[in-house]
Amino acid sequence: MLLETKNLTKRFGGLIAVNNVNFSIERGKINAIIGPNGAGKSTFFNLISGFHKPTAGQIIFKGEDITHLPANKRAKLGIARTFQTTHLFEQSTVLDNVIIGHRLRTSSTLFDAIFRTKRLKREEAQCKEKAMEVLEFVGLTDAAHKIVANISQEEKKRAAFALALATDPEVILLDEPAAGVNPDETEGLEELIVKMAEYGITVCLIEHKMQMIMKIAHKIMVLNYGEKIAEGTPEEIKNNEIVIQAYLGGSAIA
Ligand SMILES: Nc1ncnc2c1ncn2[C@@H]1O[C@H](COP(=O)(O)OP(=O)(O)OP(=O)(O)O)[C@@H](O)[C@H]1O
């Protein structure tokens, strides 16, 4: 296992958004989190990536307790998350957006920037190289110099993946990667997620598109009202009575 949560809990006032969740993200696998609206999926992601502080419980990454580490330190350890495509800089090129992602891994200081030191120039070249490498990985080489405002929604999704990949993550957290794209485009994104896992990047995703999850996930956790109600393979989840009742109100999972 790569990352583990132990009794992870988050309260917002009187509401328990995540309640005592024990979950492990398996290395090199596609781990999925599903559940009805308001089940606590995004909050769970925010706890793992460090955007929320847990009320109780622990988060262990590669054996190290990271429960109290800030988000930027977790990112440096190799935990990356994608944001909604609305977080991209619309008036910048795809390439420039990705370069910003890679800057996280570089060490140039203000001194380097002011005096245009060799280190700065070297790191700028490295950033560009890395950005082009991840753009090729996600299939956006041809869009590298396009302004984000002018590319399709699916390309924006790929750009958001590239941004996270530019930080060289060990685990990538994808929040509804296929929301708002058509079925053909969803298939393309599916292939990309599978490719990431094959490449050795651990994937953890939240997604409402059930067909996609059932096709590509190795392991699924189901949240309902903040609690884990089931965990297992797609086959196990599909046939789990509690899931069928809670998640779909009785109809079968397609
Ligand atoms: N910052 C916050 N302050 C107060 N309540 C919050 C906050 N963030 C989430 N909540 C509440 O916590 C619960 C879980 O929300 P969360 O967004 O994690 O669910 P979700 O499973 O991701 O839902 P969706 O599928 O609709 O995105 C909801 O009742 C939500 O209203």
Going from N- to C-terminal start, the domains of the chain cover: 1-78+169-254, 86-168
Closest CA to 101 of 37, 168, 167: 167
Average pLDDT estimate for 206-233: 95
Average pLDDT estimate for 57-71: 96
Asked whether the predicted pLDDT for residue 38 surpasses 50, the reply is yes
Q: Ligand 1 atom 11: the closest Cα is on which residue?
A: 17
pLDDT tens digits, one per residue of 113-132? 666 677 777 777 888 898 99
Residues with C-beta less than 6 Å from any ligand 1 atom: 12, 15, 17, 35, 37-43
Q: Ligand 1 atom 9: the closest Cα is on which residue?
A: 43
Token couple for 247: 């998640």
Asked whether the predicted pLDDT for residue 140 surpasses 70, the reply is yes
pLDDT of residue 252: 46
Q: Measured from the CA of 18, which atom of ligand 1 is nearest?
A: 14
Report CA(41)–ligand 1 centroid distance (Å).
Answer: 8
pLDDT of residue 106: 58
Q: Ligand 1 atom 17: the closest Cα is on which residue?
A: 42
Best of 10, 12, 37 to mutate for ligand 1, by most ligand atoms within 8 A of CB? 12
Average pLDDT estimate for 207-216: 93
Global confidence as pTM: 0.88
CB 229 within 8 A of CB 61: no
pLDDT-based confidence at 78, cuts 50/70/90? very high
Report CA(43)–ligand 1 centroid distance (Å).
Answer: 6
Q: Ligand 1 atom 10: the closest Cα is on which residue?
A: 17
Asked whether the predicted pLDDT for residue 228 surpasses 90, the reply is yes
Best of 33, 43, 228, 229 to mutate for ligand 1, by most ligand atoms within 8 A of CB? 43
Asked whether the predicted pLDDT for residue 95 surpasses 50, the reply is yes
Average pLDDT, the chain: 90
d(CA 138, CA 57): 35
pLDDT tens digits, one per residue of 165-198? 988 899 999 999 998 899 989 999 999 999 999 9
Q: What is the CATH number of domain 86-168?
A: 3.40.50.300
Report CA(53)–ligand 1 centroid distance (Å).
Answer: 14
Closest CA to 220 of 209, 210, 233, 208: 233
3-state secondary structure of 146: coil
Q: What is the ipTM of this complex?
A: 0.96
1-78+169-254, CATH topology level: Rossmann fold (3.40.50)
Report CA(15)–ligand 1 centroid distance (Å).
Answer: 10
Backbone angles phi, psi at 187, to 5 degrees: -60, -40
Q: Measured from the CA of 13, which atom of ligand 1 is nearest?
A: 4
Which residue carries 């530019």 as its tokens? 166
Q: Measured from the CA of 226, which atom of ligand 1 is nearest?
A: 14
